[in-house]
Amino acid sequence: MLPAIFVLFVFLTANAAAQDGMPASEERPWQVAAILERTIGNSHTSYEFGNPFLMSYSPLSRLEFPINTWWGGVELRREFSRCSLGGRLLTNVTQNTDGDMRDSDWEDESRPDRLTTYSVSRSSMEPSIQARCDIDLKIADWLGLPSSMDIRPVIGFQWQRFNMMVHDGTQWEYLPSNDPVPLPGNSLHFRQEYQLYFLGFRAKYEWGKTASGMRPYLFLFGYRAHVRANNEDHHMLRAGYRLTYDKTTGGAWFIAGGARAPVGKNLAAVLEMSYLNIRTTGAHRLYNELLEQDFSFDYGVEVWSQQTALGLRLEYVF
C-alpha cells in the first residue's frame, strides 16, 4: 500500500511540475545546508517484554537508552516550479550521551509489581546515522491562499540507526538483598533501527524581501508515519553469547517548527525545534547457544522512542 501511494504522489507531483514548466520557479533553486543538532530533554530509545512462561503480568524487563548527544550533517534540496525534492544525512559528532541507561527487572512471580533488579550505567553513542528524504507538492495557489503563505503535502522516508555501548554501571539486587554491585567495563551492546514511511505537510509564512532578495519566514513541518523497527541486544556479562532481538511495527508522529532569516546574499540561518514520538509492538527472541536457548514470543513486547531536538542550519542557496 505505502509503495503504491508513494509512486502515485511522485507521478502527480512530476505531472503538475511539468505542466507549470520545468525547471525551477526561482533563479536560485538549490539549497545546501550544514546542520548542527542536539537531542535534548529525556530523548531515549527503549524496549520491554513480558514473562513468556507466565503471561499474567508485564513487563518482565525494561531497558531505556539515552540518546542525548550532538549530531552534524548536511541537507540538500532542489526547488521546482510546483514541488521540491530533498534529503538530509546526520551522524553523531560526540560519543558521550547525557543521562543514564536504566535496566529494570520484575522477576518475582509471586509479586509481579515488585522491582527485583535495577541497574544504572553510562552509555556511549558509537557511529550512528539519521537520514531522511522527501518530496512535496505546492498547492497554496490552488487553495487561494495569499502569496506570503505556502502549504504542501509531503511524502517521504526516514531511517535511524542508533549504536550504543553501555559501560561502568552499578546494579542493585532487591531479592534477596539491596547491596550495590559494580559493573565495571563494557556490559551491553545495543543496536536500534527505525524505518519510518511518512505522509505529512510542510507550511511557511514569509514576509518582505531583505536586501539579499531572500525572504525571512516561519515554518512548520509535521507527519504521521508507519514504522518498522528492529533491535539487537548483546548482554556481554551473561553466561554464553546471549542475544535478544525485537522485530516490531507501529506508528510515529513528528512535529517541527522554526524560523529562517537571511544573513547574506546567498546565506540564511535556520533555527528549528522538533519532536518525534515512536511506538511499536511485535516479537521478542532470546538466543544463547551455551544454554541451548532459542525461542520467540510476543507477550508484552514494546519498543518506543521519544526524541526532542534543537537544531541550527546554515543554508547556501544558488
Residue type, 166: V
**What Å distances lie between residue 193 and 48, 182, 234, CA to CA?**
16, 30, 15
- Cβ neighbors of 7 (< 8 A, separation 6 or more) are none
DSSP string, 265-285: SSEEEEEEEEEEEEEEEEEEE
Task: Determine the pLDDT at residue 211.
Answer: 62
Task: Determine the pLDDT at residue 23.
Answer: 44
Longest alpha-carbon distance in the chain: 75
- Cβ neighbors of 167 (< 8 A, separation 6 or more) are 121, 122, 123, 124, 185, 186, 187
Task: Determine the pLDDT at residue 215.
Answer: 87
pLDDT digits (tens, 9 = 90+) for 50-103: 998 887 789 999 999 999 999 999 999 999 999 999 999 999 999 999 999 999
Q: Write out the CATH class of domain 2-317.
A: mainly beta
Domain ranges in the chain are: 2-317
Closest CA to 257 of 203, 317, 215, 305: 203
Indicate if the pLDDT at residue 7 is higher than 70: no
| Separation CA 269–CA 78 (nearest Å) | 18
Residue type, 224: R
SS (H, E, C) 14-43: HHHHHHHCCCCCCCCCEEEEEEEEEEEEEE
- Residue 22: pLDDT band (50, 70, 90) is very low
Indicate if the pLDDT at residue 291 is higher than 90: no
Mean pLDDT for the chain overall: 90
Instruction: Please indicate whether residue 28 or residue 254 has the higher confidence score (pLDDT).
Output: 254
Instruction: Please indicate whether residue 108 or residue 284 has the higher confidence score (pLDDT).
Output: 284
Indicate if the pLDDT at residue 267 is higher than 80: yes
> Cβ–Cβ contacts within 10 Å for residue 209, how many?
11
State phi, psi for 26 to the nearest 5 degrees. Answer: -120, 160
